[in-house]
Amino acid sequence: MTDTVPPYRRIAEELRRRILAGELTPGDRVPSTRRLAGDFGVAIATATKALAVLRQQGFTRVRPGVGTVVAPRATVAPPRAADGELSRERIVRVATAVADAHGLGELSMRRVAAELGVATMSLYRHVPGKDDLILLMIDAALGEERLPAVRPPGWRAGLIISTTLLWRLFRRHPWLAPAMSLTRPQPAPNGLLLVEWVLETLAPTRLDRRQRLYVHILLFSFARGIATALEPEAEALRETGVGSDEWMGSLAPPSALSTDALPRFAELVESDDFDLDLDLLFRFGLARLLDGLDGWLNRPG
């Protein structure tokens, strides 16, 4: 490579060499923009552009919650399928892959048909429309993991299991939390099994039926609330290549406010020891919610 090659191209070519040489294998995390900027002595924007080139060439992809990782060695276009080979399960599987990779906003019947290599109208013989498809996707995603056949002793352990399972599914599918409604819940069979688990877990307590359901809604809302940040973050990472850690590291008090007006915030920024870890936030918040529920249940009267 000569000096006439732009720096971002040199970085992209070096990473491409490592991938082809097997130094970085499929699924491995690619160095962050901050790491690349330091290693190659370039600006963050230059490193970001280099990662964008690799994504465009199909060598990397963004994995929500992880960052930029090496993509499979070869991306093969899906075979064109005859209408008779279509099934509802296959349509849901492909639609879920589209939403996982590009977000729910990019999902359409036409897009799914293109991925399957069939005419758009072929899908409607299996799925009435996009809303029905999303409901099927929600149910399929919620059914990817099963609750234990043997319930653990104690209501707290049971609620930790069910809420953590839900969080894992939200993590796996960043579109899932925004797709699920709190005020107009979709009748997904696998979702109802989660509700039943919580109600049965709380049955031995002194809570009545209404209060048990409120506990379920509270825990669902908590997990869903944090998880709604996953899809926008994945989209921002796809567009900029800048992860949340790098973004948080670039924050500073507004120029209109001096550090004297924000002493605790300034102390936090200067310490450089805070990372916005959503998994840690989930575990911390869940524990505090259950602590509060424990105190309420053990309150006299």
Q: Give the tens place of pLDDT for each residue, 8-42.
A: 888 988 888 888 877 888 888 888 888 888 889 88
Q: What is the pTM of this model?
A: 0.66
Alpha helices in 173-299 (DSSP H): 176-179, 189-202, 209-227, 230-240, 244-249, 263-271, 278-297
Predicted pLDDT of residue 259: 62
pLDDT for residue 137 is more than 90:
yes
- CA dist., res. 221 & res. 122, Å (int): 37
- CA dist., res. 194 & res. 191, Å (int): 5
pLDDT for residue 210 is more than 80:
yes
How deeply is 227 buried, as exposed, middle or buried, from its count of CB atoms within 10 A (0-12, 13-18, 19+)?
A: buried
* Percentage with pLDDT > 90 across the chain: 41
Over residues 248-289, the pLDDT tens digits come to: 555 555 555 566 777 776 676 666 665 678 889 999 999 999
What is the mean pLDDT of the segment spanning 155-175? 94
Amino acid at 165: L
pLDDT for residue 185 is more than 60:
yes
The residues, ordered by sequence, that sit 6+ positions from 285 with a Cβ below 8 Å of its Cβ are: 222, 226
Could you write out the DSSP letters of every residue in 66-83? Answer: TEEEEPPS--PPPPP--G
pLDDT for residue 118 is more than 60:
yes
Mean pLDDT lowest for which of 7-21, 121-135, 194-208, 258-272? 258-272
Mean pLDDT lowest for which of 101-110, 121-130, 135-144, 241-250? 241-250
Predicted pLDDT of residue 241: 62
The residues, ordered by sequence, that sit 6+ positions from 138 with a Cβ below 8 Å of its Cβ are: 176, 179, 180, 186, 188, 191
pLDDT for residue 6 is more than 90:
no
